[in-house]
Amino acid sequence: MHNAALDGLARDDTRFAGWRYFPFDVEPGMLPAALGLMRERGFRGVNLTVPHKVLAVGLVSELDPAAREAGAVNTLASAGSGWRGLNTDGYGLAAGILGDLGLGLRGATVVLLGAGGAARAAAVECLRAGCAALWVMNRTRSNLDSLLAHLAPLAGGTPVRALDAGGSAAGRPAGAIVINATSAGLRADDPPPADLGGFPGVGAVYDMIYNPPRTRLLAQAQELGLPHANGLGMLVHQGAKALEIWTGIPASRTAPAMRAAAAKALGY
Protein backbone atom coordinates (compact mmCIF):
# COMPACT_ATOMS: atom_id res chain seq x y z
CA MET A 1 0.00 0.00 0.00
CA HIS A 2 2.93 2.33 0.59
CA ASN A 3 4.29 1.76 -2.90
CA ALA A 4 0.85 2.39 -4.39
CA ALA A 5 0.77 5.74 -2.62
CA LEU A 6 4.34 6.56 -3.64
CA ASP A 7 3.59 5.75 -7.30
CA GLY A 8 0.70 8.22 -7.16
CA LEU A 9 2.84 10.90 -5.55
CA ALA A 10 5.62 10.39 -8.11
CA ARG A 11 3.21 11.09 -10.96
CA ASP A 12 2.63 14.59 -9.59
CA ASP A 13 5.97 15.32 -7.96
CA THR A 14 9.34 14.14 -9.29
CA ARG A 15 10.83 14.32 -5.78
CA PHE A 16 9.25 10.95 -5.08
CA ALA A 17 10.23 9.24 -8.35
CA GLY A 18 12.93 7.16 -6.66
CA TRP A 19 11.13 6.43 -3.40
CA ARG A 20 10.34 2.79 -2.61
CA TYR A 21 9.09 0.87 0.43
CA PHE A 22 10.80 -2.47 1.17
CA PRO A 23 9.97 -5.33 3.55
CA PHE A 24 12.77 -6.74 5.72
CA ASP A 25 12.61 -9.76 8.01
CA VAL A 26 14.88 -8.89 10.93
CA GLU A 27 15.53 -11.15 13.90
CA PRO A 28 15.01 -9.31 17.20
CA GLY A 29 18.65 -9.60 18.19
CA MET A 30 19.72 -8.01 14.91
CA LEU A 31 17.50 -4.95 15.21
CA PRO A 32 20.24 -2.55 16.47
CA ALA A 33 22.57 -3.56 13.63
CA ALA A 34 19.77 -3.38 11.05
CA LEU A 35 18.76 0.12 12.11
CA GLY A 36 22.40 1.20 11.97
CA LEU A 37 22.74 -0.14 8.43
CA MET A 38 19.56 1.60 7.36
CA ARG A 39 20.95 4.88 8.67
CA GLU A 40 24.18 4.29 6.71
CA ARG A 41 22.27 3.45 3.52
CA GLY A 42 20.19 6.61 3.67
CA PHE A 43 16.76 5.26 4.57
CA ARG A 44 14.34 8.08 5.35
CA GLY A 45 12.16 6.03 7.65
CA VAL A 46 11.19 2.62 8.96
CA ASN A 47 8.01 0.90 10.11
CA LEU A 48 8.23 -1.71 12.86
CA THR A 49 5.95 -4.53 13.92
CA VAL A 50 6.03 -6.83 16.95
CA PRO A 51 8.31 -7.53 18.75
CA HIS A 52 10.38 -4.65 17.39
CA LYS A 53 7.90 -1.98 18.50
CA VAL A 54 8.98 -2.32 22.14
CA LEU A 55 12.63 -3.13 21.44
CA ALA A 56 13.08 0.06 19.42
CA VAL A 57 12.07 2.33 22.31
CA GLY A 58 15.57 2.04 23.73
CA LEU A 59 17.29 2.44 20.34
CA VAL A 60 16.10 5.88 19.27
CA SER A 61 17.70 9.25 19.89
CA GLU A 62 14.32 10.99 20.20
CA LEU A 63 10.98 9.65 21.42
CA ASP A 64 7.65 11.24 20.54
CA PRO A 65 5.28 11.74 23.53
CA ALA A 66 2.62 9.39 22.11
CA ALA A 67 5.21 6.67 21.64
CA ARG A 68 6.55 7.20 25.16
CA GLU A 69 3.08 6.89 26.66
CA ALA A 70 2.26 3.81 24.58
CA GLY A 71 5.62 2.23 25.40
CA ALA A 72 6.01 1.25 21.76
CA VAL A 73 7.34 2.65 18.49
CA ASN A 74 5.96 1.69 15.09
CA THR A 75 7.52 4.45 12.99
CA LEU A 76 11.06 5.77 12.78
CA ALA A 77 12.14 8.94 11.02
CA SER A 78 15.72 9.93 10.29
CA ALA A 79 16.73 12.67 12.71
CA GLY A 80 20.23 14.09 12.95
CA SER A 81 22.61 11.28 13.86
CA GLY A 82 19.89 8.84 14.92
CA TRP A 83 16.25 7.87 14.67
CA ARG A 84 13.20 9.67 15.98
CA GLY A 85 10.67 7.17 17.33
CA LEU A 86 6.93 7.73 16.87
CA ASN A 87 3.73 5.75 17.17
CA THR A 88 1.00 6.22 14.54
CA ASP A 89 -1.17 3.32 15.72
CA GLY A 90 -3.30 5.55 17.91
CA TYR A 91 -3.93 7.96 15.05
CA GLY A 92 -4.77 5.00 12.82
CA LEU A 93 -7.28 3.66 15.34
CA ALA A 94 -9.06 6.99 15.76
CA ALA A 95 -9.10 7.67 12.02
CA GLY A 96 -10.31 4.14 11.28
CA ILE A 97 -13.21 4.40 13.73
CA LEU A 98 -14.14 7.85 12.44
CA GLY A 99 -13.89 6.85 8.78
CA ASP A 100 -15.67 3.49 8.98
CA LEU A 101 -18.17 4.12 11.79
CA GLY A 102 -18.53 7.89 11.75
CA LEU A 103 -17.70 8.06 15.45
CA GLY A 104 -15.13 10.12 17.31
CA LEU A 105 -13.41 9.04 20.51
CA ARG A 106 -13.85 12.43 22.20
CA GLY A 107 -16.69 12.21 24.69
CA ALA A 108 -17.25 8.50 23.99
CA THR A 109 -17.49 5.69 26.50
CA VAL A 110 -15.02 3.02 25.40
CA VAL A 111 -14.78 -0.65 26.33
CA LEU A 112 -11.34 -1.96 25.41
CA LEU A 113 -10.84 -5.71 25.09
CA GLY A 114 -7.26 -6.75 25.87
CA ALA A 115 -4.31 -5.57 27.93
CA GLY A 116 -1.32 -6.24 25.68
CA GLY A 117 0.77 -3.89 23.56
CA ALA A 118 -1.99 -3.14 21.05
CA ALA A 119 -4.42 -2.41 23.87
CA ARG A 120 -1.94 -0.06 25.54
CA ALA A 121 -1.58 2.03 22.37
CA ALA A 122 -5.37 2.06 21.93
CA ALA A 123 -5.97 3.07 25.54
CA VAL A 124 -3.46 5.91 25.34
CA GLU A 125 -5.15 7.21 22.19
CA CYS A 126 -8.60 7.08 23.81
CA LEU A 127 -7.32 9.11 26.76
CA ARG A 128 -5.43 11.58 24.58
CA ALA A 129 -8.56 12.05 22.45
CA GLY A 130 -10.67 12.90 25.49
CA CYS A 131 -12.95 9.89 25.88
CA ALA A 132 -15.59 10.21 28.61
CA ALA A 133 -14.69 6.91 30.28
CA LEU A 134 -12.49 3.91 29.54
CA TRP A 135 -13.30 0.38 30.65
CA VAL A 136 -10.75 -2.39 30.13
CA MET A 137 -11.57 -6.10 30.01
CA ASN A 138 -8.95 -8.85 29.98
CA ARG A 139 -9.01 -12.51 30.97
CA THR A 140 -5.66 -12.36 32.80
CA ARG A 141 -6.04 -10.11 35.84
CA SER A 142 -2.32 -9.47 36.35
CA ASN A 143 -1.97 -8.05 32.81
CA LEU A 144 -5.09 -5.96 33.33
CA ASP A 145 -3.76 -4.52 36.59
CA SER A 146 -0.45 -3.72 34.93
CA LEU A 147 -2.18 -1.78 32.16
CA LEU A 148 -4.40 0.12 34.59
CA ALA A 149 -1.34 1.12 36.63
CA HIS A 150 0.34 2.41 33.47
CA LEU A 151 -2.75 4.41 32.48
CA ALA A 152 -3.42 5.94 35.91
CA PRO A 153 -1.02 8.90 35.57
CA LEU A 154 -2.22 9.56 32.02
CA ALA A 155 -5.95 9.55 32.76
CA GLY A 156 -6.30 12.96 34.37
CA GLY A 157 -9.96 13.22 35.30
CA THR A 158 -11.10 10.46 32.93
CA PRO A 159 -12.47 7.38 34.75
CA VAL A 160 -10.47 4.26 33.87
CA ARG A 161 -11.99 1.08 35.26
CA ALA A 162 -11.55 -2.68 35.08
CA LEU A 163 -14.39 -4.71 33.62
CA ASP A 164 -14.95 -8.24 34.88
CA ALA A 165 -14.96 -10.66 31.93
CA GLY A 166 -17.41 -12.89 33.76
CA GLY A 167 -19.54 -10.16 35.27
CA SER A 168 -23.22 -9.45 34.68
CA ALA A 169 -24.63 -6.87 32.30
CA ALA A 170 -25.85 -4.81 35.26
CA GLY A 171 -22.41 -3.44 36.05
CA ARG A 172 -21.37 -2.73 32.46
CA PRO A 173 -21.58 0.58 30.60
CA ALA A 174 -24.27 1.14 27.99
CA GLY A 175 -23.79 2.67 24.57
CA ALA A 176 -20.03 2.11 24.50
CA ILE A 177 -17.71 1.74 21.55
CA VAL A 178 -16.27 -1.76 22.00
CA ILE A 179 -12.72 -2.08 20.63
CA ASN A 180 -11.03 -5.46 20.28
CA ALA A 181 -7.27 -5.15 20.80
CA THR A 182 -6.69 -8.88 21.40
CA SER A 183 -5.54 -11.49 18.89
CA ALA A 184 -8.75 -13.49 19.38
CA GLY A 185 -10.19 -13.81 15.89
CA LEU A 186 -7.02 -14.30 13.89
CA ARG A 187 -7.92 -18.00 13.59
CA ALA A 188 -11.31 -19.26 12.48
CA ASP A 189 -11.74 -21.37 15.62
CA ASP A 190 -10.88 -18.55 18.04
CA PRO A 191 -13.66 -17.79 20.52
CA PRO A 192 -14.76 -14.15 20.53
CA PRO A 193 -12.94 -11.99 23.11
CA ALA A 194 -16.29 -11.01 24.67
CA ASP A 195 -19.99 -11.76 24.37
CA LEU A 196 -21.65 -8.59 23.07
CA GLY A 197 -24.96 -9.91 24.30
CA GLY A 198 -23.62 -9.53 27.83
CA PHE A 199 -23.75 -5.73 27.62
CA PRO A 200 -26.83 -3.64 28.36
CA GLY A 201 -26.28 -1.89 25.04
CA VAL A 202 -23.40 -1.40 22.60
CA GLY A 203 -22.99 1.69 20.45
CA ALA A 204 -20.57 0.18 17.92
CA VAL A 205 -17.90 -2.51 17.58
CA TYR A 206 -14.42 -2.04 16.14
CA ASP A 207 -12.13 -5.05 15.72
CA MET A 208 -8.49 -4.14 15.14
CA ILE A 209 -8.04 -7.43 13.27
CA TYR A 210 -8.27 -6.99 9.48
CA ASN A 211 -7.36 -10.49 8.28
CA PRO A 212 -9.72 -12.33 8.29
CA PRO A 213 -12.07 -9.45 7.47
CA ARG A 214 -14.96 -10.90 9.50
CA THR A 215 -14.15 -12.28 12.94
CA ARG A 216 -16.63 -14.02 15.22
CA LEU A 217 -16.93 -10.79 17.21
CA LEU A 218 -17.96 -8.88 14.09
CA ALA A 219 -20.29 -11.69 13.07
CA GLN A 220 -22.10 -11.36 16.40
CA ALA A 221 -22.21 -7.58 16.00
CA GLN A 222 -23.89 -8.04 12.65
CA GLU A 223 -26.37 -10.52 14.10
CA LEU A 224 -27.27 -8.00 16.80
CA GLY A 225 -27.65 -5.19 14.26
CA LEU A 226 -24.75 -3.17 15.69
CA PRO A 227 -22.57 -0.81 13.65
CA HIS A 228 -19.23 -2.57 13.19
CA ALA A 229 -15.97 -2.47 11.26
CA ASN A 230 -12.70 -4.37 11.04
CA GLY A 231 -9.18 -2.98 11.36
CA LEU A 232 -8.45 -2.28 7.70
CA GLY A 233 -9.02 1.44 8.26
CA MET A 234 -6.59 1.44 11.17
CA LEU A 235 -3.97 -0.36 9.06
CA VAL A 236 -4.34 2.16 6.26
CA HIS A 237 -4.42 5.32 8.37
CA GLN A 238 -1.44 4.39 10.57
CA GLY A 239 0.52 3.76 7.37
CA ALA A 240 -0.65 6.99 5.76
CA LYS A 241 0.39 8.95 8.86
CA ALA A 242 3.84 7.32 8.76
CA LEU A 243 4.14 8.30 5.10
CA GLU A 244 3.15 11.86 6.05
CA ILE A 245 5.98 11.95 8.59
CA TRP A 246 8.50 10.91 5.92
CA THR A 247 7.21 12.90 2.96
CA GLY A 248 5.28 15.85 4.40
CA ILE A 249 2.25 14.86 2.30
CA PRO A 250 -0.98 14.84 4.36
CA ALA A 251 -2.22 11.38 5.30
CA SER A 252 -5.68 12.24 3.98
CA ARG A 253 -4.23 12.53 0.48
CA THR A 254 -2.55 9.11 0.35
CA ALA A 255 -5.03 7.08 2.42
CA PRO A 256 -7.50 6.34 -0.44
CA ALA A 257 -4.82 4.82 -2.68
CA MET A 258 -3.36 2.90 0.25
CA ARG A 259 -6.77 1.49 1.20
CA ALA A 260 -7.50 0.34 -2.33
CA ALA A 261 -4.12 -1.38 -2.57
CA ALA A 262 -4.44 -3.04 0.85
CA ALA A 263 -7.98 -4.27 0.14
CA LYS A 264 -6.85 -5.74 -3.19
CA ALA A 265 -3.86 -7.47 -1.61
CA LEU A 266 -6.05 -8.94 1.12
CA GLY A 267 -8.68 -10.12 -1.33
CA TYR A 268 -11.49 -7.98 0.05
Q: Where are the domains of the chain?
A: 2-87+236-266, 90-230
2-87+236-266: which CATH topology? Rossmann fold (3.40.50)
pLDDT band at 168 (very low <50, low <70, confident <90, very high): low
Mean pLDDT of 118-134: 96
**Rounded CA separation 45/174 (Å):** 42
Supply the pLDDT for residue 267.
93
pLDDT band at 159 (very low <50, low <70, confident <90, very high): very high
Comparing 116-125, 138-147, 169-178, the range with the smallest average pLDDT is 169-178
Q: How far is CA 2 from CA 82, 214, 235, 243, in A?
A: 23, 24, 11, 8
Indicate which residues carry an active-site annotation.
Answer: 53
Mean pLDDT of 245-256: 97
Please write the tens of the pLDDT for every residue from 199-212.
Answer: 989 999 999 999 99
Supply the pLDDT for residue 264.
96
Comparing 96-110, 133-147, 163-177, the range with the smallest average pLDDT is 163-177
> Does 233 have pLDDT greater than 90?
yes
**Is there a common fold for 2-87+236-266 and 90-230?**
yes
Supply the pLDDT for residue 171.
78
Supply the pLDDT for residue 81.
83
> Does 169 have pLDDT greater than 70?
no
**Rounded CA separation 68/77 (Å):** 15
Mean pLDDT of 188-195: 92
Q: What is the mean pLDDT of the chain?
A: 95
C-alpha torsion sign, points 93, 76, 9, 37: negative
**Domain 90-230: CATH class, spelled out:** alpha beta
The more confident residue out of 257 and 188 is: 257
Q: Give the β-pairing of 82-86 and 75-79.
A: antiparallel
**Rounded CA separation 136/46 (Å):** 31
Is the distance from CB of 97 to CB of 105 less than 8 angstroms? yes
- Of all residues in the chain, the percent with pLDDT exceeding 70 is 99
Supply the pLDDT for residue 108.
98
- Our measurement of the distance from residue 70's CA atom to the centroid of its chain's CA atoms, rounded to an integer in Å, reads 11
Please write the tens of the pLDDT for every residue from 48-107.
Answer: 998 999 999 999 999 999 999 999 999 999 998 899 999 999 999 999 999 999 999 999
Is the distance from CB of 213 to CB of 232 less than 8 angstroms? yes
Mean pLDDT of 30-39: 97
**Rounded CA separation 18/111 (Å):** 44
